[in-house]
Structure 1
Amino acid sequence: MRALPGEAGVALAGSAIIGAGAVLAVALTPVEYAPPGAMFWPAAVLSASLLAIPLMRGVLEGLYGLLHAENLVLVAIIYWVLLDLLQGAYPLDELGRDDVIAALETVAIFAMFIPLGRLAPTLGAPKPIARAARADLPTQNAFIAVCICFVLCISSFGIPTSFDPARMIDGLLQPRFGAPWSRGDLGGWEAFIDHLAYFGYVLPAATVLVATRAKARWADPRVWISILFTAIVCAFLAQSGGRRIIGMMLGSGLLLWMILKERFSIVRAAVVAGGAIGVLSLLQFILLIRNVGLEGFLSGDVDLDDYEFAGQFHVDDNFLRLAQIVHYFPDVVEYVGWKQIYYVLVRPIPRALWPDKPIDAGFSLPGLVGKSDVSLSSSIIGELHASYGLAAVAIGALLLGWAAASWTTLLRERNENARVLYCLGLMVFFVGMRSMQEIVLMTYAVLAWTAVSLVTSKKTAAATPAARDDSEEPCEPS
């Protein structure tokens, strides 16, 4: 499917605006760039240019245009890379001014090529996902799907504890890596058990589906059971300290609630905005307690006055690490070539089946910057730059933009289950901006819901041809 003329115009105009924003951002970079907050205006100008395409699509197509997957990728760049500069989260005294400018230019090049990926013919969703998108899940079957996902997910925490409730509750109170289900970086056969957790990632969106399809809405007991299951799973997944996981889960639920509404009013916009702020606040709380555990927090082991990121929505120091990668590659360290991409592609293969599977992407960022016993992220932009420089950044952006445009074709499906899959995929693109690995790992959630919805929908077809237990038809965003 080729891009429509209007879509091509938006892509080209948006790319040009981002380029102009980058030129202005570089011009606004102060001589005294290092103090916290000094880079606010360059980051603000570049961020505003990234929002040009979502705004143009919103004006031309309404809510449907705003929900394009490419839009969320552009917003993700602001969140994962530029937000720290906007907040003045840390000083940049580890960097030279040339490194800061080069990092801004690298971000801009990546962002400019994202919309251009839409100009290539799109393929649509893979066939199994497209088939699942057309599956009809009445309330009872959607609830059964929720129960299946809950049981499979909770098993990843129950099996290591022999389903002992006392041990499971105690594990919830422990710091990250202190629970019985925690393991090291290099897993063995137990990694298969870990994969069951991906079924839990879909629960918030699946709960919204149950609530939407139930006749009694929120008064239906199946809705509240689904909410309880979602809360339990969120608690276990939050214990590991993985904020992006909770963000992905709750974000997909919020997006689905927005999409399934017939009209997007100001009140609903305020609810979604408030929900997003609530999710960000929850992620801050997870960051606060993850090294001491809930038990340590309740016992007063956390001193809020010493909290490094008080008053900020801390993400990662991705801009700092991106600038360091730009500095080191290729002047100090040779590009790693395909090692980074190869490392990501073989990530799904269990190490138990391939003991000699690569353990890194061909370089160690902590080692380059003189740190140990830490993991550092630089966003997908940094990983691409470490591979083959700006050429890899541009090509990677084109491919990501093309994949996002292909996923957006799923938005045209009128089935509610298509909306569930679409929102899960949107969050894959959003969280995937943090790292190539995240794209692979978060895609497991989409595959998990694809499998479960196909199984439960087959039961529907076999059990009764009478379709739904409510009369509401899926709606097209307006």
Structure 2
Amino acid sequence: MGNDINLMNISSNPYYPQQKPPVFKKNIAKATFLGTVVFISSLIVAFVNISLDQTPSLMANQVAISVLVGIALSIWSDSTRGLRNLFRADLASIVALYFLTLIEFLYPQTKFDQLLTSEQTAYALYVLLVGFAGIAIGRHITLFKPVPPSFLDFSNIPDNALFRIFLISAFLAYFYVFITVEFNPIKLIEAELGPRFAVPWGRGRLGDWRVFLSELKLFSYAIPPLAGIIWNRRQSFRSWQIFVVFIIFAFTFFDGFAGGTRNIFGAYIATFLGGYLLTIQRPNLLNVTAPIAVMGYAMVFATRHMLGFREMGISRYLETAAYASQKVQGTLSVDYNLHTIGLLVDAFPNKHDFLGLELLFVFATKPIPRVLWPDKPEGLSISIEEVVGADGWTVASTYVGESYMMGGMLAVLLISVCLGILATWWSRTAAFHTTGYGIVVNALGFFTAAVSMRSLIIFTTSMLPILGLIFFAKTFPGLLGIKRLRRQYPRS
């Protein structure tokens, strides 16, 4: 008792220093200065070598090669700080933008020469290179502290809660899907193998009350990173739990592939790699490059075939042997986003006024269900489809094309820098996540960074799973089998 009193007196005595929590040096992932210099240098080389005397496809091919070399050398420079330094949202953004715009031009694209003039292609490439440079510059601007705010503190969630949140995410993602097929697995598989727009769980253009249930499918994005983390920490789970995780994970990948939407399938790959790579205990060349190589091949394979079967469905695609056509096997085709960017650059402001903040307003309000806001704007005053003459189908132009519609080259630069700033802040917070739950939330940020390259509208909707997981952890901790953190104050 006397010792306790003495210890209490010592701890409250102002002459004795108070104990402080241990300070851990965090290995914060960030781009190296040399890597950025090399990358921007490759962009400058690509810029100065663009010649109007070349055909559009050759022009794009030379830029694709130069930028690819710059990305590779930048990654090599960043890897000198350790393999974990490559697990960054800004790098995911750059790679995703390259995939969406330039990777197809590493293959012969003679058809592209009939789509754009040399002048349109040159200006499209100029705008694209500015976008790459903006992200590269923005990732070195640290306006926010790396320490996550309190709403991103998940230190009270043990890893054994991961399996529970995995099941909750799967239930929320696929409950409406199973309702529409009357919980009949045969009908489900038949629908998955059919045309993507004919699935019974699809939503209408404007949506109704059922949009609440259909939008819950966004929780499927939490399944791949959870699977990657649970696999790395499989010693903490039972064999039957690992089996259940594998089955649901495999179905999620199949669902993403059968849907024919490549950005969704790519998002599953990106989030799986994010969860897996961020939780490797001892990263080495094999356990890092092997999964990346496998997933990279899966994405290339999907890119080759998903365009071919998404209108007719996998069943008819196989029955008619459409996969053997020259269109599928002759080259690699993504979306020809560079073609769309070229048409937009040619149209604004020559034919249409810049949209200004209208585009950001429409995209920011996109996640709000129309049933809650009946007068919500249906779209832009002038859509991308109207500009490029697409009748009956949607057209993507990446965030670069959308930003140009806002305010030209300056808007592209500013939006790119902002995306780089946000990406590097999110990557820096990863070092402070110690629980699997926090890493899942962080990995979903990698998904947001990657898919936002396709469209700014996805930036807002892709954050919904992140907000959902934060909501669960902070509002219903008992649902995850955890207790609220309570601060311990000394007794007076």
TM-score in terms of structure 2 length:
0.84
For residue 85 of structure 1, report the CA deviation from its aligned partner: 2.2
For residue 251 of structure 1, report the CA deviation from its aligned partner: 2.4
The residue identity in structure 1 corresponding to 2:365 is V
- Structure 2 counterpart of 1:262: 281
- Alignment pair present for 1:406 and 2:428: no
- Structure 2 counterpart of 1:42: 63
- Alignment pair present for 1:203 and 2:203: no
User: What do the CA deviations read for 1:122-145 (whole angstroms, capped 9, x no partner)?
Assistant: 14587465123x343333x21111
- Structure 2 counterpart of 1:138: 159
User: What do the CA deviations read for 1:208-246 (whole angstroms, capped 9, x no partner)?
Assistant: 2223333277x7110111111122233344443222112
State the distance in 1 between where 2:215 and 2:207 align: 12
- Structure 2 counterpart of 1:329: 348
State the distance in 1 between where 2:418 and 2:386 align: 30
* Total equivalences in the alignment: 454
- Structure 2 counterpart of 1:343: 362
For residue 71 of structure 1, report the CA deviation from its aligned partner: 1.8
Q: After the TM superposition, which residues 25-36 of structure 1 pair with which residues of structure 2 at under 5 Å, given as runs?
A: 25-31=46-52, 33-34=54-55, 36=57
211, 216, 224: which one aligns with 2:243: 224
User: What do the CA deviations read for 1:56-104 (whole angstroms, capped 9, x no partner)?
Assistant: 3222x21232122222222222111111222234423332222222222
**Structure 1 counterpart SS, 2:454:** coil
For residue 429 of structure 1, report the CA deviation from its aligned partner: 0.4
- Alignment pair present for 1:66 and 2:86: yes
**Structure 2 counterpart SS, 1:308:** helix
Relative to structure 2, which stretch is displaced further, 151-160 or 231-240?
Answer: 231-240
- Structure 2 counterpart of 1:287: 307
Instruction: Check whether the contact 2:477–2:483 (CA below 8 A) recurs between aligned residues.
Output: no
- Alignment pair present for 1:354 and 2:370: no
Q: After the TM superposition, which residues 107-186 of structure 1 pair with which residues of structure 2 at under 5 Å, given as runs?
A: 107-117=128-138, 118-124=140-146, 127=149, 130-132=152-154, 134-139=155-160, 141-186=161-206
Instruction: Check whether the contact 2:30–2:427 (CA below 8 A) recurs between aligned residues.
Output: no
State the distance in 1 between where 2:333 and 2:478 align: 41
State the distance in 1 between where 2:196 and 2:31 align: 48
- Structure 2 counterpart of 1:447: 467
For residue 355 of structure 1, report the CA deviation from its aligned partner: 2.3
For residue 176 of structure 1, report the CA deviation from its aligned partner: 0.9
For residue 147 of structure 1, report the CA deviation from its aligned partner: 1.2
State the distance in 2 between where 1:294 and 1:111 align: 36
**Structure 2 counterpart SS, 1:91:** helix
Judged with a 3 Å threshold, the aligned counterparts in structure 2 of structure 1 residues 95 and 237 are, in CA distance, closer, same or farther, namely closer
- Alignment pair present for 1:193 and 2:213: yes
The residue identity in structure 2 corresponding to 1:106 is V
104, 116, 120: which one aligns with 1:99: 120
For residue 263 of structure 1, report the CA deviation from its aligned partner: 2.6
Relative to structure 2, which stretch is displaced further, 146-155 or 440-449?
Answer: 440-449
State the distance in 2 between where 1:290 and 1:394 align: 34
User: What do the CA deviations read for 1:316-335 (whole angstroms, capped 9, x no partner)?
Assistant: 11111111111111112111
For residue 373 of structure 1, report the CA deviation from its aligned partner: 0.6
State the distance in 2 between where 1:271 and 1:426 align: 19
Judged with a 3 Å threshold, the aligned counterparts in structure 2 of structure 1 residues 27 and 179 are, in CA distance, closer, same or farther, namely same
For residue 40 of structure 1, report the CA deviation from its aligned partner: 1.7
Percent identity of paired positions between Structure 1 and Structure 2: 21
- Structure 2 counterpart of 1:395: 414
**Structure 1 counterpart SS, 2:153:** helix
State the distance in 2 between where 1:461 and 1:41 align: 55
Instruction: Check whether the contact 1:259–1:419 (CA below 8 A) recurs between aligned residues.
Output: yes
For residue 35 of structure 1, report the CA deviation from its aligned partner: 6.1
Instruction: Check whether the contact 1:292–1:302 (CA below 8 A) recurs between aligned residues.
Output: no
- Structure 2 counterpart of 1:474: none
Judged with a 3 Å threshold, the aligned counterparts in structure 2 of structure 1 residues 453 and 137 are, in CA distance, closer, same or farther, namely farther
Instruction: Check whether the contact 1:145–1:453 (CA below 8 A) recurs between aligned residues.
Output: no
State the distance in 1 between where 2:29 and 2:199 align: 49
Relative to structure 2, which stretch is displaced further, 448-457 or 402-411?
Answer: 448-457
Instruction: Check whether the contact 1:322–1:378 (CA below 8 A) recurs between aligned residues.
Output: yes
For residue 163 of structure 1, report the CA deviation from its aligned partner: 2.9
For residue 362 of structure 1, report the CA deviation from its aligned partner: 2.8
Larger Rg: 2
For residue 387 of structure 1, report the CA deviation from its aligned partner: 0.4
- Structure 1 counterpart of 2:263: 244
Relative to structure 2, which stretch is displaced further, 452-461 or 373-382?
Answer: 452-461
- Structure 2 counterpart of 1:467: none
The residue identity in structure 2 corresponding to 1:69 is A
393, 401, 413: which one aligns with 1:374: 393
Instruction: Check whether the contact 1:153–1:233 (CA below 8 A) recurs between aligned residues.
Output: no
**Structure 1 unpaired stretches of 5+:** 464-478
Instruction: Check whether the contact 2:47–2:129 (CA below 8 A) recurs between aligned residues.
Output: no
Judged with a 3 Å threshold, the aligned counterparts in structure 2 of structure 1 residues 204 and 434 are, in CA distance, closer, same or farther, namely same
TM-score in terms of structure 1 length:
0.86
For residue 432 of structure 1, report the CA deviation from its aligned partner: 0.9
User: What do the CA deviations read for 1:176-230 (whole angstroms, capped 9, x no partner)?
Assistant: 111111233221111111111011111121122223333277x711011111112
Instruction: Check whether the contact 2:340–2:397 (CA below 8 A) recurs between aligned residues.
Output: yes
**Structure 2 counterpart SS, 1:352:** coil
Judged with a 3 Å threshold, the aligned counterparts in structure 2 of structure 1 residues 326 and 15 are, in CA distance, closer, same or farther, namely farther
For residue 301 of structure 1, report the CA deviation from its aligned partner: 2.7
77, 81, 105: which one aligns with 1:85: 105
For residue 384 of structure 1, report the CA deviation from its aligned partner: 0.3
Q: CA RMSD in A?
A: 2.9
User: What do the CA deviations read for 1:395-426 (whole angstroms, capped 9, x no partner)?
Assistant: 10111111011101222123333322222211
Judged with a 3 Å threshold, the aligned counterparts in structure 2 of structure 1 residues 210 and 391 are, in CA distance, closer, same or farther, namely same
Instruction: Check whether the contact 2:39–2:74 (CA below 8 A) recurs between aligned residues.
Output: no
**Structure 2 unpaired stretches of 5+:** 1-25, 485-492
State the distance in 2 between where 1:282 and 1:368 align: 29
State the distance in 2 between where 1:282 and 1:223 align: 26
